[in-house]
Amino acid sequence: MTLLRMAACQARQGAGEQALTLIAEAEQAAGEALVEVDEQGRILAEVCRLFERRNQPEQALEGYLRIRRILEEMGDREALIGVLDRIGGLYFQLGEQAKSTQCYEERLQLQAALTPG
C-alpha cells in the first residue's frame, strides 16, 4: 500500500494529522510516481475538508498551502483559483487580514488572466 493510500485511509478514519504526516513522507519519498500527484492533491483536499469540519483552520490551511504548491507545479491555474479562495478564507478566519486580502487579489488576477476577452 502506498503512503498516499495509507493517508487516504487515515483521513477517512478521522486521523487527519496522521494523514498529513503520511502525505509529507510521500512528498519526500524517492520514487513516488508523478501520476500520483493528482491523487495526492485529492487526498490532501479530503484531509483539509476534514479539518475545516472540525474547526481546525490552522491544519486546514497547512494542507491547502501544500495543494497550492502542487497545483502551481502542475500548472493547473483553474483549480488554483478555488484553492486561493479557500486559503484566503482561512487566513481571514485566523485574523490574518493582510494575507487573506493578498490571496483574494491573487485569485482575482488569476481569474482575470483566464477569462477570455
pTM: 0.75
Highest mean pLDDT among 16-20, 31-35, 92-96: 92-96
The residue among 7, 84, 93 whose CA lies nearest residue 50 is 7
CA dihedral sign, ordered 98, 70, 80, 44: negative
Residue 12: band (very low, low, confident or very high) from pLDDT cuts 50, 70, 90: low
The residue among 35, 14, 36 whose CA lies nearest residue 25 is 36
Backbone phi, then psi, for 116, in 5-degree steps? -70, 150
pLDDT for the residue 80: 92
Highest mean pLDDT among 17-26, 36-45, 101-110: 101-110
Q: Do you know the residue count of the chain?
A: 117
- b (16+ CB within 10 A) / e for 69-102: ebbeeeeeeeebbebbbbbbbbbbeeeeeebbee
Domains of the chain, each with CATH number or no CATH:
3-114 (1.25.40.10)
pLDDT digit string, tens, across residues 43-102: 788 888 888 888 989 989 998 998 898 888 888 899 899 999 999 999 999 999 999 999
Rounded Cα gap, residues 105 and 6, in angstroms: 36
